[in-house]
Amino acid sequence: MEVEAKFRLKEGVFEKVEKFARFLEEKEEFDLYFNHPCRDFAKTDEALRLRVEKKIKMTYKGPKIDKDTKSREEVNLVVDSFENALELLEKLGFRKFGTVRKRRRIYEMNGALICVDFVEGLGNFLEIEVKELDEKEKIFEIAAFLGYSREESIRLSYLEMLLNRKV
């Protein structure tokens, strides 16, 4: 399960995160998204991606399950070869759909992960993630501390935002 909320990074928030949260790591991520050969993931609110970072991961994301956050089922699989995973997906009929590139700084605060994302072509964002759906309110408590209201939460994925921008 992925339980998170996303916000556009406001002025001064990065500095506040740096001051009050514990820095964990920084990494570059490249995401390649696919569409299913028999159903439209955009219509079913699902996603399948291949991510290149320190490891290569294949991730399935199910439909969002609540109105406040981007909470959804998530299944992750580490693969040993981007090229082999890509070939497998293409042979099964999956089609490349879009890409997202970002630099991500990851922090920990009060048992939640805070990601400050610098997304190519979109700008800068803050994501707050907890492990369980019953911890969801912790997301909005941290968000309020950082200067955000619940209403500022963005439920679109970076891919959806990039695709909507091109329309």
DSSP code, position 158:
H
Sign of CA dihedral 18, 68, 132, 63: negative
Judge contact between 59 and 41, C-beta under 8 A: no
**pTM score, two decimals?**
0.94
> What is the model's pLDDT at position 166?
63
Distance from chain centroid for Cα 13: 19
> What is the model's pLDDT at position 90?
97
**33 among known catalytic residues:** yes
Helix (H, G, I), strand (E, B) or coil at 141: helix
- Tokens 């009929």 correspond to 93
Express as a percent the part of the chain with pLDDT over 90: 96
41: number of CA atoms within 13 Å, CB side? 20
Express as a percent the part of the chain with pLDDT over 70: 99
The average pLDDT across 97-125 equals 97
- Nearest CA to 74 out of 41, 48, 107 is that of 48
1: number of CA atoms within 13 Å, CB side? 12
3-state SS of 95-118 is EEEEEEEEEEEEEEECCEEEEEEE
Model confidence pLDDT, tens digit, residues 123-161:
999 999 999 999 999 999 999 999 999 999 999 999 999
Model confidence pLDDT, tens digit, residues 33-73:
999 999 999 999 999 999 999 999 999 999 999 988 999 99
Structural domains in the chain, CATH included, are 3-165 (2.40.320.10)
CA distance 161 to 147: 23
Distance from chain centroid for Cα 66: 16
Residue of 33, 107, 148, 158 with catalytic role: 33
